[in-house]
Amino acid sequence: MPLRLGETAPNFNAQTTEGEINFYDWSDGKWIVLYSHPSDYTPVCTTELGRTAALKEDFEQRNAKVIALSVDDLDSHMGWVKDIEDTQNVTMNFPIIADADRKVAQAYDMIHPEADELFTVRSVFIIDPQHKVRLTLTYPPSTGRNFQEILRVLDSLQLTDNYSVATPVDWKDGEDVVVSPSIKTEDIPDKFPKGHKEIRSYLRTTPQPNR
């Protein structure tokens, strides 16, 4: 069964390029981005891993850690890391899970028989500090993932967890947000003293409350 939003992400023990981990212990109360690759030495994934390494500080600013997975073994991963660093001009600074027995891939429903029975599809999971799944994405093999979008979703989730707002289409950190429909219009000034706009009775916006 695929993992649904709000469900608990499975815990696991695994070998990685940074040593053996227990996933829950490794997550250490942070937001986690877990994403999979069909196999090592694939061109699109090589660029993605390089981009993730370059964005380490951006993830850290959001109290987030990244971990990747491929069904190849650890020796293969270590060789791939050298290729990633050489071709993408980065130093790898996050772990890649070795999942040769596919136990983690199966627990996270990363293997879709319609696509390939042997390799993982290109999945993304955002998991919160309580180990709850908050976002799932599946990309086609030919399309590289947009890590600015993943950062944007982290910003949105962390904002909306703490305030009664939602983020509208194409929202970016610092822009106006939508007031939750559960809040009466007459109560908005007390909750959002920066002001608000009533576009429709059901569509009210306010400046981002934590900026």
Q: Give catalytic residue positions.
A: 45
**DSSP-derived secondary structure letter, 8:** B
Sign of the CA dihedral 77, 46, 37, 104? positive
Residues 6 or more apart in contact with residue 180 via CB below 8 angstroms: 164, 165, 166
Q: Which two tokens stand for residue 187?
A: 């109560």
The CA dihedral of 14, 95, 128, 211, to the nearest 10 degrees, is 170
Closest CA to 131 of 32, 62, 204: 32
- 26 close to 129: Cβ distance less than 8 angstroms: no
- The answer to whether the beta carbons of residues 105 and 36 sit under 8 Å apart is yes
Residue with tokens 């696991």: 12
Q: How far apart are CA 61 and CA 79, in angstroms?
A: 30
